[in-house]
Structure 1
Amino acid sequence: MSDVRSAWPVTPLAPQVVVRVERAMPELPSEIESRVASHWNAALAKHPTLYNGRVFCADVIEAEIIRGHWSEYRRVLAQMREPDLYGTDFLRPLAVVGLFRTTDGIVIGQRSEHSLYLPGYWQGAPAGNVESRDGEAQIDLAAQLMTECLEELGVSEAECQIGRCLLACEHPQTHIVDAGMEIATELDFEALQERCSRLGNAEYQTLMLIRPDTPLPSPLVPTLAAMLEQNR
């Protein structure tokens, strides 16, 4: 865990951590706004289906509460392309990441080589930005993870159960913060693979079953390493 902590800072979270919106999205200086627009337009040229939705960005992360504000995805993407864009006022976009247990082990996914973020890396599945899909003001991390589960793996709410929050882990360059959470299903790995290939959205180029004696693949997102170590 020490290597993970030094590379990606880890904050333990309470099992039912509260996420709260506490301020409005700040205005950007015109020069920075212009650079955001430039990064966004360049990304759209390569990925025409990109959507500029509302994403939650953390201002303060504590064990019991995460405080922050709604921002635009295009601002987050611009920071991914230009990490020093906002100086010391960098964004910390919050994402949910599952530690997914089937009846025969833990399932992890290898991100698509076409992903904008960490292509080819192995991570906990499902995973995705904390978004405002229906204009909601309140943030329910379990509901966010459940939506990702259905979209990425094709597993419905009736087939899995969201458990406790475990930890938050921050990427030091992009400042994306993963909130790791437990999730379990009565499906076995073979059934999950079939469901993902038939109903999932191709977020992962492959899934892998992890048992206690399974060597971990590489490269591995440190959030996953931290969650696996906490659950030994």
Structure 2
Amino acid sequence: MLTVHAVNASLKVQLGSAGPAVPSEVLARVEAIWKSEKERRGDSLFNGRLFSIEHSGPERITGWFAEYRWFLAQRRDPSLYQVLKIRPLGVTGLLCCTDGIVLGRRAGHVEMDAGLWELVPSGGVDGSRVDGTGQPDLGAHLLTELEEETGIQAAAVSKPPQAFVMVEDQLNHVTDVGLIVRVNHSAAQVRELFAALTDREYDELEVVPASRISDFLMNRSARLAEVSRAILDSAARQADLLLG
């Protein structure tokens, strides 16, 4: 189940508490799940960190940084949420090039939504990009994902990414902030940069003209990630947002 909220363009993210106190038996369960996953997936599994939400609103999100393995354990054993309370924060870009909106089909090897189409770029907030006060910077995170997932450099962006919607996935406890980002590239240039990437999260990209986005939503409904659909639905109700 998804819950969709409008947010201010100047939405801020701030660090709050250090997170919940976790009993030793829960930590042992987390470690056991992590060990099992490592044995199955090997070096492809990395224990980074992610921003976990405490409180969220249209102007501000507060939270703390958790280990990725906590979230993975929570996904494998949903009962752990009652103690760990991991609510990851992610960013999803409504990427507009000169020919339309960019979407990508998730590669088969990724952890979530493999094989589905979604808005590009997207990713978790891990604290690697901060603003002048040392707080996580959503726009900077999105631009990092943009370069990694499409090959498009931040210099090609016509103005800073602008937040406009928040989508909460209550089943998976994941929240995504949708930000619109515009680049001065054609569809052909976007595809050329993407083709040069050697490590891809997407099998392919597609550029859909803004005037045809409703048809895309109708025709690809069974193959489109729910969060991306919610963000596109929200953008479609704001004609000025898509037209820029």
- Partners of 2:90 and 2:19 lie apart in 1 by 18
1:20 to 14, 17, 26: 14
Indicate the SS of the match to 1:230.
helix
Query: What's the CA shift for 1:199?
Result: 2.7
Which residue does 1:3 correspond to in 2? none
Paired residues for 1:176-191 under 5 Å: 176-191=174-189
Confirm whether residue 58 of structure 1 aligns to residue 37 of structure 2: no
Give the secondary-structure state (helix, strand or coil) at the position aligned to 2:143: helix
Structure 1 counterpart of 2:91, one-letter code: V
Conserved 8 A contact 2:22-2:84: no
Instruction: Give the whole-Å Cα distance in 1 for the aligned partners of 2:81 and 2:234.
Output: 33
Structure 1 segments unaligned to the other structure (5+ residues): 1-6
C-alpha separation in 1, matches of 2:129 and 2:204: 30
TM superposition outliers: structure 1 runs of 4+ over 3 Å: 134-137
1:109 aligned residue: 104
TM-score when scaled to structure 1? Answer: 0.90
| AA in 2 matched with 1:128 | G
Q: Which residue of 1 aligns with 2:227?
A: 223
Residue 28 (structure 2) aligns with: 34
- Bigger RCO (CA 8 Å, 6+ sep): 1
Letter in 1 for 2:177: A
Q: Could you say if the C-alpha distance between residues 86 and 227 of structure 1 is closer, same or farther in structure 2, counting changes exceeding 3 Å?
A: closer
Q: Percent identity?
A: 31
Query: Residue 75 of structure 1 aligns to which amino acid in structure 2?
Result: W
Show the counterpart of 1:4.
Answer: none
163, 166, 169: which one pairs with 1:168?
Answer: 166
What's the secondary structure of 1:91's corresponding residue?
coil
| Amino acid aligned to 1:173 | L
In 2: Cα distance, 1:71 partner to 1:191 partner:
38
> Is structure 2 residue 85 aligned with structure 1 residue 84?
no
Query: Is the helix fraction higher in 1 or 2?
Result: 2
2:153 is matched with which residue: 151, 156, 159? 156
Secondary structure at the counterpart of residue 48 of structure 1? helix
Kindly state the Cα deviation for residue 49 of structure 1 after the two structures are TM-superposed: 2.7
Report the residue type matching 2:186 in the other structure: D
Unaligned runs of 5+ in 2: 237-244
Instruction: Report the Cα distance in structure 1 between the residues aligned to 2:84 and 2:28, rounded to whole angstroms.
Output: 17
1:225 positional shift: 1.7
